[in-house]
Structure 1
Amino acid sequence: MNRTFNLLYTGTFAGTLLALGLWSTQGARDFSAAADTPVLNGKLALAFEKHYDAEFPIKQLGTNLWAALDFSLFGEGRPGVVVGANDWLYSDEEFKPVAGALHNSQDNQALIQGVRETLARHDVQLVMAILPAKARLYPENFGERRPAPLHEQLYQNFRRAVADAGIQAPDLLGPLSQAKAEGQVFLRTDTHWTPYGAQVVAGQLATAIKPSGLVPESGSRYVTETAPGEPHKGDLTNFLPLDPLFEELLPPPDQLTKHSTRAQEENAAGADDLFAETQVPVALVGTSYSADERWNFAGALRQALGSDLVNFAEDGRGPLLPMLKFLQSDDFKNAPPRLVIWEFPERYLPMAYDLSEFDAEWIAQLKAAGRQDKHLADNTATSQGARH
């Protein structure tokens, strides 16, 4: 009996290895390299290794299987996502503590004030759109995980600090919280807001900006058209590598309604030309919340303000880098706008940034100008100290 069992076990093990080995050769079938790829220096071998690693079927099986166990048994994904209740996903940047948060916040606040000082020297008004975190707006879907103490008062303290430094920052948390009753303001499986959430923020900003007279009446009227909702697989599902083998375990996709805003006049100024014959008075700077056309934030702002604008926001760069790039651009130096709207999600305040692409002396000058405002530094230190 023991011998029969041993033979059966050995045969099964050998057969499994053979099957897996044959299956793994599929990763090499469609390999091809450029005709001039050198062989002797190892470049051909490296190209094959990269291709095989990417196509290795056992690797896909292991990745999917491990992700399925983590998700099913522990309700967890890869670093980057927090799995909440009711199929809600959150960025873990809105939950985890940040190393050096106090120092980073003080540095970033000094840079923000330095930006304001730079814009003021060119007679440009700055309005900040500090975006509340998705976790702040939808705490009812957290599940068992809770944000670190750092995040508890981050929005309120950030907004108070910039206001004390003389920067206009309208409250967006209240309007977005009220708008939840009418529709979803953030996507369930994505880091970003919905077009409806972007529209609510645009309306609140316009209400705060218009009395200042910074945006002259242009006579242009903007209309927004909507298309039927389509399934949208949010960016946070990338941290749940369950497909293709366990795709049914993923939270169902969001329904994303496409919004598109256009000027009614045929001769309306182009949105990408700040320096046409009629200078566009508004510049928008920010993150993917502003840059990604799927959310239509720039379009909603145009309609709410009744004015064209130029969008300098960038994907995947955070809020600081696009602003520093804008300040050094020929667009700003040659013909600055009257108003800059800076979209800045709250979670980016305590983060450290790699500013090596900019001149170190210039960055130091910006920070020094910002630190001259004692209210900003004192407020930051007090509020951050209270959280620790």
Structure 2
Amino acid sequence: MTRQLRKLYVALFLAVLALLFVWSARNLLSVTLPPDTSVLDGKWAKAVESHYDKEFPVKRLGTNVWAALDYLLFGEGRPGVIVGRNDWLFSDEEFKPVVNGEQNIADNLALVRGVRDQLARQNIKLVLAIVPAKSRLYPEYLDETQPAAMRTRLYEDFHAAAERAGILAPDLLKPLEQAKSNGEVFLRTDTHWTPMGAEVVAQTLGRTIRGDALLSSEPQQFVTETGEIKPHKGDLLNFLPLDPLFSDLLPPADKLQQRTTHPANDGEAGGDALFADTEVPVALVGTSYSANERWNFPGALRQSLASDLVNHAEDGRGPLLPMLKFLQSEEFKSAPPQVVVWEFPERYLPMQNDLSDFDPSWIAELKKAGTAESLASTAGKTATP
């Protein structure tokens, strides 16, 4: 390198540093501190450091460039997402093996049977809505990465275990597969189902519950209205950190049409207010598939059942923890429902749950009944000639 080229290289390097310094200083000036922040106790420095680290341009540049290389060269994102064909994304929870997965399955099934028993003691019918994995519904969009062997028959095995336990669990896979010809039943860039997929499941559950005459309350009519179609940034796009430099590389956003369900009689109170002084017909418990209003699953279920319901589903807690919390609630003790619909995605069955918020003796009692039943069933099968 000649003397002139070395000078030019140094000048360009210093220019880039100066530009980054100005950019960083501008971001540093935008920091907003809480009114009680003090310089003496270090809170001021920590707040500024946290803001600066978040807004530091070199960090953002490096993150974007590295993510773009992974995505373009290897078709990969950050841990949490599996990149499929035609801009389809999948949660890696549906693919990866789980440490002690078989034991976790046994423990979780024991809890499911224990929940069934606790509900049965109060003459409450449990209906299990086992949600098939997105990768099971759309295997045509999978690339080289395939689900772990333990997940191959997870949906079928879960159903078989429910049947042996005498739990009503209608098949949701077949109606969802049939509905695919009419539109997407799961979102392309999101973990969750579409409002249409949620409606298909709700209709299947409604036919099952009505067919078995599990509800004794007077029918109530509901209507569903559709809103405008808007772009929806799926939660799986968070594992492709390409914004803002390479946002054009991201899969296009999904299109989501919001649906809203309300009583046919507009003058009639809706939602949980209906149950202030009356018996609760249906309780819905589950995950973000039921808790998030974007999918309108509770609304579709109300319309299909011709019955209102109370929704005890929670975001980010899995299916077991909201159910255990519901069974411990004052609402359950004072106003038990006739039917409990438990929305339970199959991918959660092998996962370990943190049950530290609950009484260990109560959890042990639930598991004990379910485990004893499982052992008796296994022994019976072994003894069969």
TM-score normalized by structure 2? 0.95
Give 2:68's aligned amino acid.
A
Identity across aligned pairs (percent)? 60
Find the counterpart in structure 1 of residue 371 from structure 2: 371
- Gapped runs of 5+ residues in structure 2? none
Find the counterpart in structure 2 of residue 301 from structure 1: 301
8 Å CA contact 1:269–1:276 kept in 2: the answer is no
Structure 1 position 50, deviation (Å): 0.8
Find the counterpart in structure 1 of residue 74 from structure 2: 74
Q: Distance in 2 between matches of 1:186 and 1:378?
A: 36
Structure 1 position 8, deviation (Å): 2.6
Q: Distance in 2 between matches of 1:375 and 1:303?
A: 40
Give 1:80's aligned amino acid.
G
8 Å CA contact 1:128–1:343 kept in 2: the answer is yes
Find the counterpart in structure 1 of residue 162 from structure 2: 162
Provide the secondary structure at the position in 2 that maps to 1:180: helix
Provide the secondary structure at the position in 2 that maps to 1:161: helix
Q: Distance in 1 between matches of 2:54 and 2:10?
A: 31
Classify 1:309/1:211 alpha carbon distance in 2 versus 1 (closer, same or farther; 3 Å): same
* 1:360 equivalent in alignment to 2:373: no
* 1:223 equivalent in alignment to 2:223: yes
Give 1:210's aligned amino acid.
R
Find the counterpart in structure 2 of residue 152 from structure 1: 152
Find the counterpart in structure 1 of residue 25 from structure 2: 25
Classify 1:32/1:293 alpha carbon distance in 2 versus 1 (closer, same or farther; 3 Å): closer
Give 2:257's aligned amino acid.
T
Q: Matches of residues 225-264 of structure 1 in structure 2 within 5 Å?
A: 225-264=225-264
Classify 1:377/1:314 alpha carbon distance in 2 versus 1 (closer, same or farther; 3 Å): farther
* 1:139 equivalent in alignment to 2:132: no
TM-score normalized by structure 1? 0.94
Provide the secondary structure at the position in 2 that maps to 1:168: coil
Q: Matches of residues 67-146 of structure 1 in structure 2 within 5 Å?
A: 67-146=67-146
Structure 1 position 243, deviation (Å): 1.0
8 Å CA contact 1:274–1:310 kept in 2: the answer is no
RMSD: 1.8
Structure 1 position 57, deviation (Å): 1.8
Q: Distance in 2 between matches of 1:106 and 1:181?
A: 36
Provide the secondary structure at the position in 2 that maps to 1:82: strand
Structure 1 position 65, deviation (Å): 1.2
Find the counterpart in structure 2 of residue 209 from structure 1: 209
Classify 1:34/1:300 alpha carbon distance in 2 versus 1 (closer, same or farther; 3 Å): closer
Give 1:30's aligned amino acid.
S
Q: Distance in 2 between matches of 1:253 and 1:113?
A: 40
Q: Distance in 2 between matches of 1:36 and 1:173?
A: 55
Give 1:18's aligned amino acid.
A
Higher mean displacement: 8-17 or 233-242: 8-17
Q: Distance in 2 between matches of 1:305 and 1:19?
A: 62
Provide the secondary structure at the position in 2 that maps to 1:223: strand
Deviation per residue, 1:196-227 (Å, 9 max, x gap): 10111111111111122221352421111112
Q: Distance in 1 between matches of 2:8 and 2:377?
A: 73
The aligned length equals 381
Classify 1:376/1:198 alpha carbon distance in 2 versus 1 (closer, same or farther; 3 Å): farther
Q: Distance in 1 between matches of 2:137 and 2:53?
A: 41
* 1:314 equivalent in alignment to 2:340: no
* 1:278 equivalent in alignment to 2:291: no
8 Å CA contact 1:269–1:308 kept in 2: the answer is no
Classify 1:106/1:9 alpha carbon distance in 2 versus 1 (closer, same or farther; 3 Å): same
Deviation per residue, 1:299-336 (Å, 9 max, x gap): 11111111111111011110001000000000111121
Q: Distance in 1 between matches of 2:376 and 2:152?
A: 20
* 1:14 equivalent in alignment to 2:14: yes
Q: Distance in 2 between matches of 1:262 and 1:114?
A: 34
Classify 1:375/1:227 alpha carbon distance in 2 versus 1 (closer, same or farther; 3 Å): farther
8 Å CA contact 1:274–1:331 kept in 2: the answer is no
Give 2:43's aligned amino acid.
K
Q: Distance in 2 between matches of 1:230 and 1:33?
A: 35
Classify 1:32/1:259 alpha carbon distance in 2 versus 1 (closer, same or farther; 3 Å): closer
8 Å CA contact 1:287–1:313 kept in 2: the answer is yes
Q: Distance in 2 between matches of 1:325 and 1:269?
A: 27
- Gapped runs of 5+ residues in structure 1? 383-388
Structure 1 position 192, deviation (Å): 0.3
Q: Distance in 1 between matches of 2:107 and 2:15?
A: 61
8 Å CA contact 1:110–1:377 kept in 2: the answer is no
Structure 1 position 291, deviation (Å): 0.7
Find the counterpart in structure 2 of residue 386 from structure 1: none
Deviation per residue, 1:152-203 (Å, 9 max, x gap): 1000001110110111110001111111111110000100001110111111
Structure 1 position 280, deviation (Å): 2.5
Deviation per residue, 1:280-312 (Å, 9 max, x gap): 310000000001111011111111111111111
Classify 1:291/1:32 alpha carbon distance in 2 versus 1 (closer, same or farther; 3 Å): closer
Q: Distance in 1 between matches of 2:286 and 2:337?
A: 16
Structure 1 position 267, deviation (Å): 4.9
Give 1:227's aligned amino acid.
G
Q: Matches of residues 32-51 of structure 1 in structure 2 within 5 Å?
A: 32-51=32-51
Provide the secondary structure at the position in 1 that maps to 2:60: helix
Classify 1:52/1:244 alpha carbon distance in 2 versus 1 (closer, same or farther; 3 Å): same
